[in-house]
Amino acid sequence: MSDLVFYSASELAQGIRDRTFSATEVLEAHLAQIAQHNPALNAIVTVNESQARLQAQIADEAIATGESLGTLHGVPVTFKDLFETEGLRTTFGYQSLSQYIPSRDVSLVGRLRGAGAIVLGKTNLPKGGADFQTVSSVLGRTNNPWDLTRTPGGSTGGGCAAVAAGLSPLELGNDLGGSLRIPAHFCGVYSLKPTENRVVSSLRSNPCTLRHMISTGPVARSVQDLRLCLDLIEGPDGSEWNVSPVAQEEPMLQPLSNYRFAWCDRFDDLTADTQTQAALADLAHQLSVAGCTVERITPQSFNFTEAWETFGELCSCQLALSQSAPLRIAASSIAKILPSQWVLGGAIARGFVQGVKTDLQGYMELLTRRDRIITQMEQFLNQWDGWLCPVTPGAAFTHRQTWFPLRGALEVDDQMLPYWMWGLGFTSIFSLTGNPVVTLPLNTNALPIGVQLVGQRWQDRGLLAITQSLSDLTGGFQRPPGY
Residues with catalytic annotation? 80, 155, 179
In whole angstroms, what is the distance from residue 161 CA to residue 66 CA? 35
- Contact, 175 vs 431, CB < 8 A? yes
Question: Distances from the Cα of 328 to the Cαs of 7, 322, 433, in angstroms?
Answer: 48, 9, 27
Q: Are 109 and 82 in contact (CB under 8 A)?
A: no
Going by the DSSP 8-state scheme, the letter that residue 422 receives in this structure is H
Q: Which residues of 376-406 are buried (b: 16+ CB within 10 A; e: fewer)?
A: bbeebbeebbbbbbbbbbbbbbebeebeeee
d(CA 73, CA 19): 12
Across 322-475, the runs of DSSP E, i.e. the strands, are 386-390, 409-412, 415-418, 437-442, 449-454
Distance CA 38, CA 105 (A): 25
Q: Alpha-carbon torsion 471, 116, 214, 152, what sign? A: negative
DSSP state, 411? Answer: E
